[in-house]
């Protein structure tokens, strides 16, 4: 039983499918072949790339198949997933004083085709995804920030707060709260980074934080085509796995255990 994660896929469903096939987690017809393995997506499924809904559909299809085989497929929500969700329900609500959710979604690579193809089934599924998950001692989050602790001080509380936020879709609070998950680089500072990571792990559990959101090329100055694995930093407490697929890096299925 192994745990695999995939960073931000941003609509690149073809690359995701190929990478999962190469890793042996799906078969030639696209069905779950990972037995009791676990596969988690770290959010930002949509925007920038051609087929965000295709990625959502893929995960939705694999989840029951994996569960039936004794495995697990999961996904933590990213800021782009929340942007798309908000753009559907409350496009004119503010994310900042001078910007609506819809404007922010467009500026961040939102694709009309995703918004048009988004159905109630996808929206209900998104609303049920956690923001944080503890899997085999790995704390899985989308963004490299301690902002999650502003939603709650336990995984249960954080996911409950985010779940309520998605269920209520309050135009006054949805945008400002979503913005917290746009924060980044909070574990990079050589002194503060490990301290913050340790604090978050103490509250939420796990021995390592695993995140997407900030790409390895942009964070660690690796040319996108050369990204060939995760980057472990902050005294070994934090693992970055977003290869930067939208920058031309490969889609990697990263084994964690």
Where along the sequence are the contacts to Mn ion (CB under 5 A)? 44, 78-79, 213
Rg (CA), the chain: 17
Q: Which residue number is nearest to Mn ion in terms of Cβ?
A: 213
Give the residue with the Cβ less far from Mn ion, 34 or 214.
214
Nearest approach, Cβ of 254 to Mn ion (angstroms)?
Answer: 17
Nearest approach, Cβ of 10 to Mn ion (angstroms)?
Answer: 9
Nearest approach, Cβ of 37 to Mn ion (angstroms)?
Answer: 25
Measured at the alpha carbon of residue 28, what is the angle toward residues 25 and 45, in degrees to the nearest 5? Answer: 55
Give the residue with the Cβ less far from Mn ion, 44 or 51.
44
Give the residue with the Cβ less far from Mn ion, 138 or 184.
184
Tokens encoding 48 = 């920038």
What's the CA gap between 55 and 13, in Å, rounded?
5
Tokens encoding 168 = 């209520």
Which of 81, 123, 138 has the alpha carbon at shortest distance from 254? 138
With contact defined as beta carbons under 8 Å apart, do 188 and 118 qualify? no
Give the residue with the Cβ less far from Mn ion, 67 or 107.
107
Give the residue with the Cβ less far from Mn ion, 15 or 79.
79
Compute the Cα dihedral for 10, 14, 17, 23 and give only its sign.
Answer: negative
Nearest approach, Cβ of 39 to Mn ion (angstroms)?
Answer: 19
Nearest approach, Cβ of 27 to Mn ion (angstroms)?
Answer: 30
């Amino acid at each position: 039983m192994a745990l695999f994660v995939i960073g931000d896929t941003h609509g690149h469903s073809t690359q995701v499918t190929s990478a999962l096939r190469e890793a042996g987690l799906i078969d030639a017809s696209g069905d779950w072949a990972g037995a009791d393995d676990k596969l988690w997506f770290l959010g930002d499924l949509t925007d920038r790339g051609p087929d965000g809904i295709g990625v959502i559909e893929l995960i939705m299809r694999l989840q029951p198949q994996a569960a039936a085989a004794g495995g697990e497929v999961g996904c933590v929500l990213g800021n782009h997933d929340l942007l798309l969700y908000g753009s559907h329900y409350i496009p004119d609500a503010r994310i900042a004083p001078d910007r609506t959710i819809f404007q922010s979604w467009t500026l961040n690579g939102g694709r009309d085709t995703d918004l048009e193809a988004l159905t109630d089934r996808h929206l209900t599924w998104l609303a049920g995804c956690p923001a944080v998950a503890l899997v085999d001692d790995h704390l899985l989050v989308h963004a490299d920030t301690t902002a999650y602790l502003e939603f709650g001080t336990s995984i249960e509380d954080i996911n409950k707060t985010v779940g309520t936020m998605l269920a209520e879709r309050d135009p006054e609070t949805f945008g400002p709260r979503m913005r917290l998950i746009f924060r980044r680089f909070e574990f990079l500072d050589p002194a503060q980074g490990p301290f913050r990571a340790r604090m978050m792990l103490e509250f939420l559990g796990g021995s390592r934080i695993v995140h997407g959101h900030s790409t390895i090329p942009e964070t660690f100055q690796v040319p996108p085509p050369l990204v060939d694995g995760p980057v472990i930093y902050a005294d070994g407490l934090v693992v970055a796995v977003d290869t930067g697929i939208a920058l031309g890096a490969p889609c990697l299925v990263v084994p964690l255990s």
